[in-house]
Chain A
Amino acid sequence: GIQVEQSPPDLILQEGANSTLRCNFSDSVNNLQWFHQNPWGQLINLFYIPSGTKQNGRLSATTVATERYSLLYISSSQTTDSGVYFCAVEPPAYSNYQLIWGAGTKLIIKP
C-alpha cells in the first residue's frame, strides 16, 4: 500500500524561527491534509491541499502531486505552534478511501 513519510521526526526551534516540514508519499493521491495536534491532544485541520499552494496567516502549504511531496511552512514560530504535525493522504479512487497517516513531526518551540 501507499507509504507516507514525514521529516524531520523531531524539530526544536527558538521562538521567531522559520521551519519547513516535509511529507513524501509513494503513490498518487486524491487529496492531502495537514493537521496540528497540540500538547493537549486536540487535532486541528490546517490545510486540505491536494495540489498547489495555500496560505493561512503564518502557515502555508505546498503540494506537488506529480513529485509526490508536500511541504508545510511555519514562519515566525510561536510557542503555541508546538505539538505534532501530521500529514494524511487519501489513496486513489479504487481503494477504500481510508486516510493514510504519516508518523508526524514533533515540533518544540522554545521561548
Chain B
Amino acid sequence: EAGVAQSPRYKIIEKRQSVAFWCNPISGHATLYWYQQILGQGPKLLIQFQNNGVVDDSQLPKDRFSAERLKGVDSTLKIQPAKLEDSAVYLCASSQRTTNEKLFFGSGTQLSVL
C-alpha cells in the first residue's frame, strides 16, 4: 500500500515570495491534515479536511496561508507572502475515516525562508 506522498521535499525561498506544497493521501482515506512542525517542537495542526470540506482551520493564518482539497483527494497548501517565521517542516497526514483515527504521515516538506 502506497503511503502519503508529498512534494517537494525541500524548498528555499526569500521572504515575501510565495510557495506551494502538494499532498496525495493514502487511497481511500477520507481525512487529510496539514501540520506545521518547527524545529524542536511537536506538530501543530494547520487545517483538517473531511473529504473536500474543511473540518478545522482555526490555527491557519488565513491572511497568508490557504489550502484546498479538490475532489476529496489531493491537497495543496500555499503560503503567500512567506515570512521568516514560516521556516518549518510542513507535514501532510491522512486517516481512513472520521477524525483522528490512526494517522499516517508523509515525509514532509522542509521550508527555509531567507
Contact = CB atoms under 8 A, between A and B. Distances in A.
Interface string B68-104: 0000000000000000000001010100000111111
B interface, size bucket? 20 to 34
Interface string A83-110: 0001010100000111101111000000
Q: Which of A41, A102, A103 has the most CB of B within 10 A?
A: A41
A2 interface: no
Nearest to A106: B40
Contacts of B105: 35, 42-45
Interface of A: 30-31, 33, 35, 40-45, 48, 86, 88, 90, 96-99, 101-104
Nearest to A103: B42
B102 A99 contact: no
Contacts of A44: 105
